[in-house]
Amino acid sequence: MLELIRSLAIPNTTKIVLMSLDGLGGLPRPETGKSELETARVPNLTALASEAACGLLRHVAPGITPGSGPGHLGLFGYDPLAYQVGRGVLESLGIEFDLRAGDVAARGNFCTVDSAGLITDRRAGRIKTEASVLLVDRLKTIRLPGVEVLVEPVQEHRFVLVLRGTGLSGRLTETDPQALGKPPLPVKALEPAAVRTAEAVNAFVEQARRLLADAAPANMVLLRGFDALPELPRFPEVYGLRAAAIAAYPMYRGLAKLVGMDVIKTGATFADEITTLREHWQAYDFFFVHYKDTDKAGEDGKFDAKVEALERFDAFIPAVRALGPDVLVVTGDHATPSILAGHGWQPVPVLVWSRYCGADPVTLFAERACAAGTLGVQPAHHLMPLVMANALRLTKFGA
């Protein structure tokens, strides 16, 4: 598919904005029978949906709950099953870590464990970044024979562990049992070539346990998403687009960088992101703009907070439309239903607005309404070809 698009892409001056609301999709709250999107007052999204073609995106496969990495790769046009990338790699890229060929990266969480070593909070209450920096300083003292250990803070409770050396493999299981009241797990090799790496990681974890035993506000680490740097087709070359990513959170910047987008420096708020979009409007053809608040509220199981996050997002739409994009897409990387308090497998609403989109009868940007849209339910990686077409940037196939 990417090769087909590459062969059909043609130049144009049209501008595309792809707005990804992290964890956009939701589920009805039993008390009201309405989802977060159905509850929120989002007049600008409603108006946009009325003028747009709507549908639902499925990012990986039916019933499969996407992580944020596969979710965004799908939005960028990469089949997430064909292009698998570990979270460690994404997090490393997100902090501009100079990941090199052969490095193995993992995502770390600072967590809390009780006196028996059982996990009491997998995120240590989402401790502040400043606290993480101090804990990372302790981890930086860890030395392993024959392997260079690199540890860097990311944001809140998250950090990156990179092992550098020869003959390392990222084919490892994770230490995070994804549950409270259990101890962190030892990592296991998923291929013979990973046995030595597994030993190194387990030695790192053992040293970390001792170094953090008396630390606060977190006293242990969880490691997951081990992977080495993969090679992906470059987004700007596949689509012939000068592509910019605007995201306050490192992981999404990292993902954009991985596919070759320019990651533009922006501030910590979504208002900052919109300012950045305006300032760089002339320099790019394609803008990926990421909004995190929806996912955060959903992950915390806070229905009302997610509704408010949607309403805050909605208020920025006029500013984006005022820039005059030729194609405006609003969607998400996966569902995060508040009643699940985690990512969900449900397909995610999408709207594609352009002069040529063929607005459908859908007048509400919500899960059930979009199911009746003319875009139907489709794989997320089919979105970009449609976006390119709406931007009049694809020539016809065959004469």
d(CA 156, CA 127): 5
Number of residues that bind a copy of itself (CB under 8 A): 71
Nearest to 274 by CA among 246, 241, 307, 306: 246
Q: Which is nearer to a copy of itself, 17 or 274 (CB)?
A: 17
Q: Which is nearer to a copy of itself, 27 or 244 (CB)?
A: 27
360 lies in the site for a copy of itself, by CB under 8 A:
yes
Nearest to 186 by CA among 195, 176, 171: 176
Binding span for a copy of itself by CB under 8 A among 113-121, 148-156, 228-236, 360-368: 360-368
Binding string to a copy of itself for residues 287 to 326, with x set by CB under 8 A, is what?
Answer: ----------------------------------------
Positions 143 through 202 that interact with a copy of itself (CB under 8 A)? 178
At its nearest, how many Å lie between a copy of itself and the CB of residue 329? 12
Q: Which is nearer to a copy of itself, 127 or 387 (CB)?
A: 387
Positions 223 through 262 that interact with a copy of itself (CB under 8 A)? 224-225
Angle between helices 43-51 and 303-314 (to 10 degrees): 60
Give the three-state DSSP class for 279. helix
Cα dist. 189→96, 165, 166, 192, 385 in Å? 28, 17, 16, 7, 38
Q: Which two tokens stand for residue 165?
A: 């050396």
Angle between helices 87-94 and 68-75 (to 10 degrees): 70
Cβ atoms of residues 56 and 371 within 8 Å: yes
At its nearest, how many Å lie between a copy of itself and the CB of residue 60? 5
At its nearest, how many Å lie between a copy of itself and the CB of residue 183? 18
Positions 99 through 138 that interact with a copy of itself (CB under 8 A)? 107
At its nearest, how many Å lie between a copy of itself and the CB of residue 119? 17
Binding span for a copy of itself by CB under 8 A among 41-49, 122-130, 195-203, 381-389: 381-389
According to CB under 8 A, which one of 169, 359, 364, 365 is a site residue for a copy of itself? Answer: 359
Question: Angle at Cα 284 formed by Cα 283 and Cα 285, nearest 5°?
Answer: 140
349 lies in the site for a copy of itself, by CB under 8 A:
no
Q: Which is nearer to a copy of itself, 15 or 224 (CB)?
A: 224
d(CA 117, CA 210): 11
Q: Which is nearer to a copy of itself, 8 or 118 (CB)?
A: 8
Q: Which is nearer to a copy of itself, 314 or 367 (CB)?
A: 367
Q: Which is nearer to a copy of itself, 323 or 372 (CB)?
A: 372
Positions 32 through 91 that interact with a copy of itself (CB under 8 A)? 33, 35, 56, 60-71, 80-81, 84-87, 90
What is the separation, in whole angstroms, between the first and last Cα of the chain?
19
Q: Which is nearer to a copy of itself, 82 or 271 (CB)?
A: 82
Q: What is the DSSP letter of 288?
A: E
Amino acid letter, residue 316: F
At its nearest, how many Å lie between a copy of itself and the CB of residue 6? 13
At its nearest, how many Å lie between a copy of itself and the CB of residue 392? 8
388 lies in the site for a copy of itself, by CB under 8 A:
yes
Phi and psi dihedrals of 257, rounded to 5?
-65, -40
Interacting residues of 22 by C-beta distance below 8 A, sequence separation 6+: 68, 252, 290, 291, 292, 293, 294, 295, 296, 332, 333, 334, 336
Count CA atoms closer than 13 A to 333's CA, side-chain side: 28
d(CA 32, CA 148): 54
Q: Which is nearer to a copy of itself, 159 or 316 (CB)?
A: 159
According to CB under 8 A, which one of 344, 351, 353, 365 is a site residue for a copy of itself? Answer: 344
Burial class (CB in 10 A: 0-12, 13-18, 19+), 197: buried
Cβ atoms of residues 136 and 120 within 8 Å: no
Amino acid letter, residue 188: K
